[in-house]
Amino acid sequence: MVDKIIKVNLILFGPPGAGKGTQAKYLVDKFNGFQISTGEILRNEIKKNSEIGKMIIEDMNDGKFVKDEIVNKLIKDVIFDPKNKNRLIFDGYPRSLTQAKNLDSLLQNSDQKLDYIFFLNVNKDIIIKRIQKRKTLEKRTDDDTETILKRYDTYMETTKPVLNFYNKNPNFYEIDGTLEIDEITAKIEAFLNV
């Protein structure tokens, strides 16, 4: 149920299993936001069994991130859709400096900006525990421990420049991702002044 509509665009950063998706879904429900989950977009493309879907599977199975040009192409239409304007909640995007610069350009060209950037910082041990729990509950096929560790290391390595790119912004906030879900939500809401 939508509590109140706030016009903001924000990014949720964090390694796989940090809880970005959970927080994004909450913000979508509470403020009538529009979630851009690259994971969800990519999984949908895989389900369609398209050529792009096959390329995505190949990258994911190798523990790599999906190529920037594929991801950028898939999210461009969402950003330019007028009904999503100033209510974008990015979950897992951008993941590279190229994607971050692309996002800046897309937002600028659609007369929008980033209002908040949140980094849910979680260490590897906590991630492994969460992923094992999620695998049991959600039966996600991309959740085997070895793949997750590869994805975690890749995430931390490729996202560091992105975090450095954004952390100079006055609207960049690092949150302890080991906190309970509702504690993280409360911190995000405090920054959003709601």
Q: Kindly report the CATH number assigned to the domain that includes residue 146.
A: 3.40.50.300
Statement: residue 97 has pLDDT above 70: yes
Indicate the average pLDDT of the chain. Answer: 86
Residue 177 lies in a domain: yes
Total domain count, the chain: 1
Statement: residue 190 has pLDDT above 70: yes
Statement: residue 99 has pLDDT above 60: yes
Residue 56 belongs to domain spanning: 10-187
pLDDT of residue 1: 52
Residue 121 lies in a domain: yes
Residue 136 lies in a domain: yes
pLDDT band at 74 (very low <50, low <70, confident <90, very high): confident
- What are φ and ψ of residue 115, in 5° steps? -95, -35
pLDDT band at 193 (very low <50, low <70, confident <90, very high): confident
> What average pLDDT does range 159-163 have in this prediction?
90
Residue 193 lies in a domain: no
Of 39 and 170, which is predicted with more confidence? 170
pLDDT of residue 133: 75
Closest C-alpha to 95, from 166, 176, 194, 171: 166
Residue 192 lies in a domain: no
The 3 state secondary structure assigned to 103-148 is: HHHHHHHCCCCCCEEEEEECCHHHHHHHHHHHHHHHCCCCCCHHHH
Residue 194 lies in a domain: no
Contact yes or no for 41/14 (Cβ under 8 A):
no
Statement: residue 3 has pLDDT above 70: no
pLDDT more than 70, % of the chain: 92
pLDDT of residue 104: 94
pLDDT band at 160 (very low <50, low <70, confident <90, very high): confident
Q: What angle do CA 44, 50, 53 make, to 5 degrees?
A: 55
pLDDT of residue 2: 55
Q: Tell me if residue 173 falls in helix, strand or coil.
A: strand
Residue 4 lies in a domain: no
Statement: residue 130 has pLDDT above 80: no
pLDDT of residue 141: 60
- Could you read off the pLDDT of 105-121 as tens digits, one per residue? 999 999 999 999 999 99
Contact yes or no for 66/53 (Cβ under 8 A):
no
Statement: residue 102 has pLDDT above 60: yes
Question: Which residues, listed in sequence order, are joined to residue 175 by a DSSP beta bridge?
Answer: 120
Closest C-alpha to 1, from 23, 32, 39, 24: 32
Alpha carbon 26 to its chain's center: 13
- What are φ and ψ of residue 137, in 5° steps? -75, -45
Residue 5 lies in a domain: no
